[in-house]
Structure 1
Amino acid sequence: MPKNESSKIGQLVKSVLSIVLIVVASIGATLFYFDRSGIALGLNTASAEVPAEQQPAAPLPNPIFEPLEPFTVTLRNERGNRILYVAVTLRVPDESSRRMIINYMPEVRDRILRDLSEQQADYIQTTEGRAALVRTLTQTLQAPYAPQPAGPVITGVLFTAFVIQ
């Protein structure tokens, strides 16, 4: 092989190696820059994402409970009268719902008393009966209170005492 051809091949190899070196250096510098600046490229998602254990948990809001004075109602049936004594606490998601319950307390208590007095003692002593009573009270209490266009949001009706005699 003549020396002229050998030097051309050598120059070509040097040029190709130079181009490869420049490309590799560019890619490395780009990855370094994006890693330092916190920009995720999506190439390696394992290093871009913070594991769930290391992420700070968002603080949960404290529950808002509004206890009501206990209720005593007479339940009538074909076998006679029975007495229901029940204490109720309402769970609400926000302060505005709590304020509405407090502001309309006479109407809240009236609605609960009416619903309780319509119950059958044998039925509300069952698990299904109590669950149905919770649903009924929730719907009744979430209905609007005049002149308000919407009622409070009730996320739970909790029985803190429940006695039938």
Structure 2
Amino acid sequence: MLRRLLILIVLLIVVIGAAIGGTIFFMSRNAASTTAASAAGKTAQATTPVPAPVPAPIFAELDPFTVTLYGETRNRILYTAITLRLNHADDRKQIQDYMPEVRDRVLKVLSSQQLSAIQTTEGRLALSKDIKESLSKPFVAQLPAPNVADVLFTAFVVQ
């Protein structure tokens, strides 16, 4: 009977030891794979280039324009609001400083348009290009020309 009790105790110690050993083995294996996965994630993060921050857009909004367009049969009124997209804050300051000349140049371009041309998408693109070219000339010889990236129509009504 003592021998049976001794065998039972030894068997119980072996089973408990195997359970503890198996738990430690699987826990260390899981921890190793987690560590490897996190290391691989850190490596992937380290090799992935961080995108550069997108610069804030620089806009200069012009007061709306109203011009008379002369057509073949009758005259029409063009009402348009324009916003300029600029490349540098210095360009915005220059546009604001020379606003009377900016408005004069834009009015000259707008008033020279043909009614039939600006009522098409292609005509509006050409008008945008003409305004951009007009504003991309220096206002005074001592200053560089403002760098106008785009001319945006925020309102465009022909009546």
Partner of residue 158, structure 2: 164
Which whole-Å deviations, capped at 9, do the CAs of 1:91-146 have from their partners, x for residues lacking one?
A: 00111100000000000000000000000111111110011011100000010102
Ranges of 4+ aligned residues in structure 1 off by more than 6 Å: none
Structure 1, unmatched stretches of 5+, are 1-46
Partner of residue 139, structure 2: 145
Q: Distance in 2 between matches of 1:51 and 1:85?
A: 53
* 1:101 and 2:95 are equivalent in the alignment: yes
Structure 2, unmatched stretches of 5+, are 1-42
Partner of residue 104, structure 2: 110
SS in 1 for 2:147: coil
Partner of residue 131, structure 1: 125
Partner of residue 122, structure 1: 116
Please report the RMSD computed on the Cα atoms of aligned residues, expressed in angstroms: 1.7
Q: 1:90 aligns with which of 79, 84, 90?
A: 84
Q: 2:62 aligns with which of 51, 65, 68?
A: 68
Aligned residues between the structures: 117
Q: 1:154 aligns with which of 138, 148, 152?
A: 148
SS in 2 for 1:152: coil
SS in 1 for 2:140: coil
Q: Which amino acid aligns with 1:69?
A: D
- Deviation at 1:149? 3.9
Q: Which amino acid aligns with 2:101?
A: E
Which whole-Å deviations, capped at 9, do the CAs of 1:33-63 have from their partners, x for residues lacking one?
A: xxxxxxxxxxxxxx8xx543xx211101100
Q: Which amino acid aligns with 1:58?
A: A
SS in 1 for 2:70: strand
Q: Distance in 1 between matches of 2:142 and 2:133?
A: 16
Q: Distance in 2 between matches of 1:116 and 1:139?
A: 13
TM-score for both structures, normalised by structure 1: 0.67
TM-score for both structures, normalised by structure 2: 0.69
Partner of residue 19, structure 2: none
Which whole-Å deviations, capped at 9, do the CAs of 1:64-84 have from their partners, x for residues lacking one?
A: 111110000000122121000
